[in-house]
Every structure is written in C-alpha cells, then in structure tokens.
A and B are shown apart, each in its own frame.
Chain A
C-alpha cells in the first residue's frame, strides 16, 4: 500500500531494540482516516511497544512514521499529542479528586496564563459528554464515578482534544456488555467524523464486531493486515500463535506422586473467584492466561501476601490458613515473584545475604547469624545453579537478570518447600539462562517437589508443564492434560473464543 491521501498513520520498517531484546522488528503499520483498526497478538507480541513508539514514549531504533502524510519525529508524548494522537490506556489515568470537567481538560484548561475560566470549561465538558451520549455530570468528583464511567471520561478527554488518531488499549476490560455496546456507538460516531481509531484488544469477538481492519503482531513482527470481512476468530488465533512448537524445553520425566497443594474454590473478593486446582509431587502445573486474568493474584494470595476471602488451601492433605509469607513457608509453600526487581531481590545485599534471607532464623544461634552456615548455604546454590560469577559476596544487582533469577529460586530451595510457585520465572532472561532455569525446575520435580509455573509464554507452558490451568477474568478452567494441550486451545480458553 502506498501513501494515499486518506492515510492517517503510516509506520514503516519500525524496529525497536532494548539491550538484549528485539521488541519490534521491521513493522509496517498503516491506518486510514475514518476506520477502526484492530491490533491483536499474544502477550509480548509487541503491541504495547508499537503503541509507545506511536505515542512518542519510545523512539524507534529505525523506521519512519508519517502522520497525515507528513513524516514526523516524536521525542516525547507531548509531541504526539500536538500531532493529534491520543491514547486511552487500559488503566485509568485520571485524578480522582478533580471534577470530571477538570479531568477532561487537564493540561489544556481554558484560560492558560490567566484566571481559569471554570464556567466555560464545565460548559465545554458537558457538551463533549453529551455528544458521546454519556450521562455524567461534569461537576462530579471523578472518584465518585464507577470504573466504567471513569473509562468514558478518559475517552471524552481524548475526544475533547479533537484528535486525528485515537488509540484505545483494551478499553472494554472493565466494561459490562451493555457498556461495551455504548462504547461501540461512540466509536462508530468518531469513525463517522473521520477519526482514525486504533483498537487493541484480546477479545476477538469485539474485534470482529467493531473493526474494519485487523493487524496481527507476533513476536515483534507484523504478521498480516487484513480487512475484517472474511476473517474468523479461529483464523486470528492461528495467526497470533502460528509457530511450530519445537521441543526446546525438555522436561525430564518425573514420577508423579500424591497431591501436594490443593486449592478449592478460592477467591479474594476482587480479582479472582472460584479457583480450584491441585498439583502433585513431581508435577509441573502450568497456570496461564492473559495478563490481568488473575494468575499472579492467585499466587500471591496462596503465599499469604494478600488475603483470601473464600475457599480453602491444603498442603499434603492438611488444611492450612495462611495470613503471611512466614506462615506459608512454614506450611511448605514458596513463591518466586513475577517482578524480580520489585519483589525478588534486595539490591544492596550480596547474593549470599539474599539467599539466606527466608531461613535466616535457622542459621542463627543466640540471635547471631552463624557465618559459616550462611556462607556454605550460598556456596552450595551458587555451585549447584552455576550462578555466574561464582561469588556469593557480590551484590546481587550486579548480576545479569538470569543469574539474579537463579539466586531468587535458590533462596527458596533452602527453605525446602513442598510446593514451589514460580511466577514468570524466565521473563526478561536470555535464552541460555532460560534453558538453565528450566533444567533446574526439571531437577526439582525429579526430586519430588510440586511446582506451579505461571507463564504467559505458550511455548514454555506447552514444553514444560504436565497439566495446564487457563485463567480468564479471574476464573480458572479445568486442567488440561498434555494430550489436550495446544496453543490454539489455550488461546481460545484465555480469550473466551472457542476456536474451531
């Protein structure tokens, strides 16, 4: 497709590299005025990165961007806004203590450099809201609105800026079906006014309903752009996953024993409910689903980092009540968190000090840490996991991501847990370290440990796990056995679209 007059956005050959990772490679992406253009892809396919490039948050490593036919160079989000590009993020990005009108005109309030013209602002906000068919009082404090109303305010804010291009990132994730229908009316109205709408969603049914064109991204590459006519949900899923699953994640066969961890109908009253699964000795249970489906919340609650309001947890057949991580450790549960930097490591401390942290009391006599016990503990794991460089005294934040992750796993093995929950254990580590971590996990189950592995990466889930539970919107599917596993099946469960 060459540059045509009605082309709102034309991104060509966009690549974006981060140290060690190629997030986007040579992506072409064009959107016409007056159309809704959907972007779909798995977690980590590059959707957010592409939108951040469009938004001016990231400068592309290479490639050109044309907006309305003119080549542009954006250094910061304000540049994108000046060009008429507006983003509506998945998370609400508003100030709860300001009024609706103030939020709509935040940063662009009438009367810059002079007294604020409040009446004018409220009038204009009311007009915009009315135009969008939203029954919201512009004088209301934003925080008093429901999440879906706040979402509408977010859209009104973007719309009030009279944009040429609007990007909506998962706009329906907090909306009911009825509210979604209302949103679609708004989108059709904006489309009728000639605005180019980029619509990012995991919900393929909605994509089929609202979009004119769809672009599929996979592993940082543009796979295909097609008109929506003649494409099916099943076909989109095939394009999204579409790779050959090679056996790069060999699981050493382990003998599967009795059930170790069993959770029954647990819920936290907010992000998940009625979740049940069990994991047996020598087994790796995969827990997958889209980001935000509630996987991490389940793990954190089981580990005592947040509260369960319903359901029961039992370890080795014994019911346990867990209110804090130390109680979880005592019950035999360990958890390697998703956010390594935020929850995994204490950056100023050495590898040794990090490894011994959970079981420090056992290395202590009369309050004093026994140095030799402390040292030999870390020496064992540094050697066993070939942590590089092999020096327990090194500050942990000076290690590579993969080696930090190995140390975080080691920290929990010292506690000799019955069940180990790993949350995205290989995210952000390079291929070599990834294989090593999988090897370590394989050894652990071979020794009879039960492992729950949370991962968004389907090849990893398919390669490593014995059974897989798929979560969607806080609910868990029945476990799939190896024989039932396929990427298409998992994506269908995760998105709620039954593939053919």
Chain B
C-alpha cells in the first residue's frame, strides 16, 4: 500500500513539474521569439528609442497589472472599475494642483481611488456580490462622481515641476518605469513572501478551507480590490502628469489590457495560483507583440483578433491544467 502510494505520487509530481516548467519557460521563450522576429522584421524594433517607448507605455498598464494579479489570485475574477480609478487618479491629481499643490493632489487622488476600491471590496468580500457586477457598478458611479466634480471636461496640468518629474529620467531610465519596477517588486514581495500574500493564495485556492483555517477571508478578498484601486490610482496619476491633461475616459481599455496581461501570464482566472513576475512576463509579451504588429503595419482589427486568441488560449490552457492537476 505504502509503496504503490509513493509511486503514484511520483508520477503525478513529475508530470506536474514538467507542466510547471513548460508553462514558466514557455512565456520566456515566447518573449524571446517575439524579440527575435521583431529584430529581423523591422529595423525600427530593436532600437533603444523604440524599446524605451514600449517600456514606458507598458509601465502605466504594468502598475495596474500588479494590482489585478491580486484580484485574480484571490478568486475575484476581475476588477472592471479600473477605468474609473485611473480617471480618478489622473483628473484629481491634475485638477487639485492649483488648490493644494502637486504632491498632496497626487496623494489625495490615490487615496480616493483606494476608497473606490474599498467599496468594491466591501461589496465583493462582505456583501457577496459577483465581482464583475460590483466593480462595473462601482466604476460607473465613481466615474460619474469624478466627472461631476470637475464639470465633465478635460482637466489640464498647471504645475510644470511635477510634469518634469513624471516625464524625467533617472540614470537614463524613465521615472515612470522605475516607479513601475518598484511597485512590481513590492507586489511580488507581498504576494510571495508575506502572510497577506499567503492568505490571498489560500483564499483563492479554497475559500472554505481558508476560512476554516482562521484566515480572514472576507478582508483578504476585499483587500485585493483595494490594492488594485490604489495601483490604478497611482497609474492614473502618473498618466495625468505625463500627458498634462486628463479626460474622464482616460482610463478606458486599461482594465482589458491588464486582464489580458495577467491571464496570458498564466495566472489562474479561478484563483489560487499566480505571481507578479508571471503577470509581468505576460505583460511584456503582449506589449512587445503589439509593438511588432504596429511596426509591421498590422491593422488594428487584426491586432485585436490576435490578442483575443491569446486570451482564449491562455484561459483554455488554465482550465485544462486545472482539470489534470487538481481533480
């Protein structure tokens, strides 16, 4: 009995290790393939200017991706209020500049975005509303309030120092990129090394078991939405500062880009599995691919087509792996 048990386990583990390695290395290989193809196909691709551009535009979404990873891992499906929290960050951090100065404006904008996240979290974690519906509703309300507050028009920046900072470079690397890297590192640390991250993984992996293990599951679930909202607030603030203008619809599409990156990175849509580096790798892949397509002159509808296939493929693979791994 003992011996057959061990044998069976070995076979299973070997199988899952192979799958695990493939799924990790697979993404790295895919990124390399895109880089290689891009370099041959377009002379403009492998240049410092282009790559830096990709990196900068990636960083704004990337900050959201870090938060969205928590939402998916905790089993919260997706946060669709991202456009609202980004708009909140962008519009308020510019709009409040003349009133309270650039730094407090930024901080207040992020804090208010966090408040939207708290509302999401309470509705999803404590009231038990489906996350898609809750975040869609809260996002719509939040966007409405922000629009009403600024009168529904475009807001422009009025502080040159903060604009210089956001657009500036440190040791040749754009500040926005550095901020993204810092946030990604913090997110990675929290998810993989802290008790909060372990709780997040446990809650997403088996809600009832986590609850029965004295994990404060409701708070953990709510926390993921607060984290995402704070990240989107920061992302929106930086976006506003770089553009020096903010429309209410400034954040639309970011929720989709972030979810795409996280899912392509192999983070499970059902929760319980995933990490920030994986999500960031997914982001890098999607962004580079999009960049190559743009340089190659691939038409926008075709780009959408490719991204759609990527998402369906990634989610399908997740479902297939789950069936084999957990059942």
Using CB atoms and an 8 Å cutoff, list the residues of chain A in contact with chain B.
303, 305, 324-326, 328-329, 335, 337, 339, 342-349, 353, 356-358, 360-361, 363-364, 367-369, 388-389, 394-395, 397-400, 411, 415, 430, 432
Closest CB in chain A relative to B123 CB, distance in Å: 20
Closest CB in chain A relative to B193 CB, distance in Å: 5
> Is the beta-carbon distance between B214 and A328 smaller than 8 angstroms?
yes
> Is the beta-carbon distance between A346 and B9 smaller than 8 angstroms?
no
9 closest cross-chain pairs (CB), A and B: A346-B205, A326-B214, A325-B214, A357-B213, A360-B195, A346-B206, A343-B208, A329-B214, A367-B194
> Is the beta-carbon distance between A324 and B208 smaller than 8 angstroms?
no
Known contacts A360-B199, A369-B198, A398-B9: A325-B211 contact under CB 8 Å: yes
Closest CB in chain A relative to B15 CB, distance in Å: 10
Known contacts A343-B208, A361-B195, A394-B13: A388-B216 contact under CB 8 Å: no
Name 19 interchain pairs, CB-CB below 8 A, sorted by A: A303-B212, A324-B216, A326-B214, A326-B216, A337-B212, A342-B209, A344-B212, A345-B209, A346-B201, A346-B209, A346-B213, A347-B206, A357-B198, A357-B213, A358-B215, A360-B195, A364-B194, A369-B198, A398-B13
Q: Would you call B196 an interface residue if the criterion is a C-beta within 8 Å of the partner chain's C-beta atoms?
A: yes
Q: Would you call B273 an interface residue if the criterion is a C-beta within 8 Å of the partner chain's C-beta atoms?
A: yes
Task: Identify A358's interface contact among B2, B205, B208, B214, CB under 8 A.
Answer: B214
> Is the beta-carbon distance between A305 and B205 smaller than 8 angstroms?
no
Bound together, the chains give a CA A398 to CA B214 distance in angstroms of: 24
> Is the beta-carbon distance between A344 and B209 smaller than 8 angstroms?
yes
B136 surroundings in chain A (CB, below 8 A):
none
Q: Specify the main secondary structure of chain B where it touches its partner.
A: helix
A363 surroundings in chain B (CB, below 8 A):
195
Closest CB in chain B relative to A356 CB, distance in Å: 8
> Is the beta-carbon distance between A325 and B213 smaller than 8 angstroms?
yes
Q: Which of B190, B194, B199, B213 has the most CB of A within 10 A?
A: B213
Q: Would you call B21 an interface residue if the criterion is a C-beta within 8 Å of the partner chain's C-beta atoms?
A: no
Task: Identify A432's interface contact among B1, B13, B214, CB under 8 A.
Answer: B1
> Is the beta-carbon distance between B326 and A394 smaller than 8 angstroms?
no
> Is the beta-carbon distance between A349 and B2 smaller than 8 angstroms?
no
For residue A430, which residue of chain B has the nearest CB?
B1
Chain B interface category by residue count? 20 to 34
> Is the beta-carbon distance between B198 and A348 smaller than 8 angstroms?
no
Bound together, the chains give a CA A339 to CA B208 distance in angstroms of: 10
The proximity string for B residues 218-260 relative to A, scoring 1 for CB distances below 8 Å and 0 otherwise, is 0000000000000000000000000000000000000000000
> Is the beta-carbon distance between B202 and A349 smaller than 8 angstroms?
yes
> Is the beta-carbon distance between B195 and A305 smaller than 8 angstroms?
no
Q: Would you call B35 an interface residue if the criterion is a C-beta within 8 Å of the partner chain's C-beta atoms?
A: no
For residue B196, which residue of chain A has the nearest CB?
A367
Q: Which of B195, B196, B206, B212 has the most CB of A within 10 A?
A: B212
Task: Identify A305's interface contact among B5, B12, B212, CB under 8 A.
Answer: B212
For residue A374, which residue of chain B has the nearest CB?
B198
Q: Would you call B272 an interface residue if the criterion is a C-beta within 8 Å of the partner chain's C-beta atoms?
A: yes
Q: Which of A346, A394, A399, A432 has the most CB of B within 10 A?
A: A346
Q: Would you call B16 an interface residue if the criterion is a C-beta within 8 Å of the partner chain's C-beta atoms?
A: yes
> Is the beta-carbon distance between B206 and A395 smaller than 8 angstroms?
no
> Is the beta-carbon distance between B211 and A357 smaller than 8 angstroms?
no
Closest CB in chain B relative to A168 CB, distance in Å: 31
Task: Identify A369's interface contact among B193, B208, B213, CB under 8 A.
Answer: B193
> Is the beta-carbon distance between A348 and B211 smaller than 8 angstroms?
no
Bound together, the chains give a CA A363 to CA B193 distance in angstroms of: 11
Bound together, the chains give a CA A479 to CA B297 distance in angstroms of: 81
> Is the beta-carbon distance between B201 and A364 smaller than 8 angstroms?
no
> Is the beta-carbon distance between B198 and A360 smaller than 8 angstroms?
yes
> Is the beta-carbon distance between A349 and B12 smaller than 8 angstroms?
no
Bound together, the chains give a CA A325 to CA B195 distance in angstroms of: 17
> Is the beta-carbon distance between A368 and B9 smaller than 8 angstroms?
no
B13 surroundings in chain A (CB, below 8 A):
394-395, 398
Known contacts A347-B205, A357-B202: A305-B211 contact under CB 8 Å: yes
For residue B11, which residue of chain A has the nearest CB?
A398
Closest CB in chain B relative to A267 CB, distance in Å: 22
Closest CB in chain A relative to B188 CB, distance in Å: 13
Bound together, the chains give a CA A394 to CA B195 distance in angstroms of: 20
